[in-house]
Amino acid sequence: MKPVPDLSAPGSGPDRRSFLRQSTLGGSGLLLGFYLQPLGAAEAIVKPGATASFRPSVFISINEQGVVTLISKQPEIGQGIKTSLPMVIAEELEVNWKDVRIVQGDLDPAYGGQSAGGSTSTPNNYNNFLRLGATARTMLIQAAALTWQVSASECLAANSAVKHVPSRRSLGYGQLVAKAAMLPVPAADTVVLKNPKDYKLLGTRIGGVDNLSIVTGKPLFGIDVKLPGMLHAVFEKCPAFGGKVISANLDAIKALPGVRDAFVITGTSNLNGLMPGVAIVADTSWTAISARRQLKVSWDEGAVVNQSWDGFVAQAQSLSKQPGSVQLRKDGDPASAFAAAAKTVQAAYSYPFVSHASFEPQNCTAWYRDGALELWAPTQNPAAGQNLVSSTLGIAKDKITLHIIRSGGGFGRRLSADYIVEAAAIAQRVTAPVKLTWSREDDMRHDHYRAGGFHFLRGALDAKGQLTAWHNHFVTFANRITRDGQSVLQPGSGASLSGDEFPGRWVANCLLEQTPMECGIPMGPWRAPGSNVFAWVFHSFIDELAHAAGRDPLAFRLELLGNKDFQPGTGERGVPYNVARMRKVLTEVAAKADWGRKKFARGQGQGIAFHFSHRGYVAEVAEVTVSKTGELKVDRVVVATDIGSQIVNPSGAENQVEGSVIDGLSTLMFAELDIERGRIVQRNFTDYPLLRFPDAPLKIDVHFVKSDQPVTGLGEPALPPLAPAVCNAIFAATGKRVRQLPLSRTDLSWQ
């Protein structure tokens, strides 16, 4: 008989299928849902009075007691999606929020896409979830009308009940579910969406559905999962990337008390997949960790051992003197424009590799039995985990069940699935459920990092101080992979510049080049991939140009933006660049920050920046104080953002913006990884510090600029402008320009 998971652990209660069986027994409930439409459908703004289209699936369950259970299909990684998306359904359903219960859905193709990354969860689901709630409401109204033998047009739904307006009769949703469950799904032209001005729930502050459990220390996260008879595993990988096991003292480890097994996993050549290593399985996590300290492995460290950060710096300097290997964009005649310029500005910007450093280290619980695999994983991309396990271990996807567990931070790291396939590979050798837990050192030294980079820039100004030419040679990092039988260099996630990236299309004479350097360091998406560093480089250099021209930085940017919108290109993933929206947030943030109207003493200053990222238009102003000895204090950050026509949950939205500011500032000030002999030098937070309270901004002002555009996400867009705004403010305060990250690399002292 199958053991029952510990009910104190997440993922251990009734799974989705069990819940649905229990909730529909005897026809005592109403079960509804719809497959999600493709992304293109989500791009269309929902208009008041619009009709709904749908296909049946499973998202809503209402029992006879009136309790409404909504399936949350997206992974929750701290971005609040487990609260905000159900709010969208609940709004159109006209249900009282106190009657709502949220259940995390497991990986299931019936739900459509289930990844959490790129700030896509809201735009990919918003319109469809409105339709879903509206359809359920329509069916409940029809059920009430049939019960009373009246016209449905005389009935309205509100507060988890349907009212017959003329007679003032009322029936709660629980009283209607049996009849509603027997009704056909209504035709699309009979389902009408609410006018947004009538919203009661959307736009109000709702606390996270897991908040109480979090603050009271209840088990919620992947690292909390417990199963009866569960064993614990650790996995030792080569300190140098790409290394393989030659030998290990396995017999000595297996002889230790409490150790069940120790064995070598040969792994694959995929840097982002199952790497070679030694697994230790024990009765407790502490036993496994203690045994690992006695593990002795002889490694073949491979060719990556010859790579170092200092070597990459020297290589980038050499490559910068040559034409780029890839020409991304060439408009006009840059050479002639530079030759005719009244003034030219030249600068080199660089930034290091950084870690995701999520507080919950990677972990996964796996149970392999009878040729099938069950997984409990804190993941941002469960389908990728299922696919990697299937392709690596030869297990059919329909034999892999994956439970999505809340993640203790992600920031893009849990879009990768290496820790999932490691747990699965270990579980194949164990006759019990086994939990693999990474140490903090594992997490730091075997991350899929944000790539470093080097930008060599030139700008040309005419006699009027207008930007006439722009040249960027980007030297980046790439892994060597095999594609279609050919060995090619693949730039890391966020490590490839687009020819459409601002200000490429805005400057008449523009040359954008890129040269990849081969490296064996695994890279992966990091919060606002690409934008998180490109914004710092471009908007810092634009600030340099504005000051060189003797122009106000705000006026210089507005002039550069112009008034012409840009249609979709390769840089915005099929999304147009709406210049009017960017101008609006830029002027809004300037007004809220009193740009140009405040007097600052020496050592104090304001800086401004903006960026379009993941469909969000964001501008930020930073105000800083820098002491004569170079100590920085960020006094205030003002943020203006346009993410569409509706702020779903202001509480969660403000949290995302404030979190982006803190995360961006932490990375700007401290984050840096060094590479020596093909390995990461840093081990823990002792040598990879994060922002502490004394360094946090004294004040963060958040302003949402509503537009008539589709609702978009907010987990990433507010991060990119932070770094350039702060660095530009530092220049205004001290006259010192920051061209290398982190800030600790620059002496900010002044006299």
The residues near 423 (Cβ < 8 Å, ≥ 6 apart) are 233, 363, 364, 365, 366, 375, 377, 434, 435, 436
pLDDT at 181: 86
Give me the torsion for CA of 271, 276, 278, 280, rounded to 10°.
60
The partner residues of 297 in beta bridges, in order of sequence, read 248
The partner residues of 224 in beta bridges, in order of sequence, read none
pLDDT at 26 over 50: no
- Are 330 and 466 in the same domain? yes
Percent share of the chain, pLDDT over 90: 87
Domain assignment of residue 4, yes or no: no
Domains held by the chain: number: 3
- Are 617 and 718 in the same domain? yes
- Are 493 and 525 in the same domain? yes
pLDDT digits (tens, 9 = 90+) for 313-348: 999 999 999 999 999 999 999 999 999 999 999 999
pLDDT digits (tens, 9 = 90+) for 462-499: 999 999 999 999 999 999 998 888 999 999 999 999 99
pLDDT at 55 over 50: no
- Are 612 and 700 in the same domain? yes
Nearest to 272 by CA among 528, 521, 517: 521
pLDDT digits (tens, 9 = 90+) for 506-528: 999 999 999 999 999 999 999 99
pLDDT at 32 over 70: no
The residues near 286 (Cβ < 8 Å, ≥ 6 apart) are none
C-beta separation of 121 from 105 below 8 A: no
Mean pLDDT of 33-53: 38
- Are 411 and 347 in the same domain? no
Choose the final residue of a domain: 173, 194, 215: 215
Query: Which range is least confidently modeled, 156-165, 185-194, 500-509, 732-741?
Result: 185-194
- Are 133 and 189 in the same domain? yes
Mean pLDDT of 40-49: 39
pLDDT at 625 over 70: yes
Can you tell me whether residue 573 is helix, strand or coil?
A: coil
pLDDT at 31: 66
The residues near 524 (Cβ < 8 Å, ≥ 6 apart) are 272, 412, 413, 415, 416, 447, 448, 449, 450, 492, 493
pLDDT digits (tens, 9 = 90+) for 610-621: 999 999 999 999
- Are 258 and 327 in the same domain? no
Query: Which range is least confidently modeled, 572-586, 595-609, 727-741?
Result: 572-586
Domain assignment of residue 560, yes or no: yes
Q: Which residue has the tokens 């992600």?
A: 410
pLDDT digits (tens, 9 = 90+) for 355-371: 999 999 999 999 999 99
Domain assignment of residue 382, yes or no: yes
Q: Which residue has the tokens 């523009």?
A: 510
pLDDT at 35 over 80: no
pLDDT at 751 over 50: yes
Global pTM reads: 0.93
Q: Which range of residues forms the domain containing residue 524?
A: 309-354+449-745
Choose the final residue of a domain: 437, 460, 486: 437
pLDDT at 451 over 90: yes
Domain assignment of residue 6, yes or no: no
- Are 414 and 510 in the same domain? no
Alpha carbon distance 709, 115 (integer Å)? 23
pLDDT at 41: 31
pLDDT at 575: 73
- Are 593 and 676 in the same domain? yes
- Are 634 and 534 in the same domain? yes
pLDDT digits (tens, 9 = 90+) for 658-713: 999 999 999 999 999 999 999 999 999 999 999 999 999 999 999 999 999 999 99
Task: Compute the mean pLDDT over every residue in the chain, rounded to the nearest whole number.
Answer: 92
- Are 298 and 316 in the same domain? no
Domain assignment of residue 1, yes or no: no
Q: Which residue has the tokens 């950060």?
A: 309
Percent share of the chain, pLDDT over 70: 91
Q: What is the DSSP string of 210-276?
A: THHHHHTT---BGGG---TT-EEEEEEE-SSTT-EEEEE-HHHHHTSTTEEEEEEE---S-TTS---
Domain assignment of residue 547, yes or no: yes
pLDDT at 99 over 90: yes
Domain assignment of residue 3, yes or no: no
pLDDT at 543: 98
Choose the final residue of a domain: 195, 215, 235: 215
- For the domain that residue 253 is a member of, what is the CATH number? 3.30.365.10
C-beta separation of 726 from 607 below 8 A: yes
Can you tell me whether residue 40 is helix, strand or coil?
A: helix
Domain assignment of residue 8, yes or no: no
pLDDT at 641: 98
- Are 269 and 201 in the same domain? no
Can you tell me whether residue 342 is helix, strand or coil?
A: coil
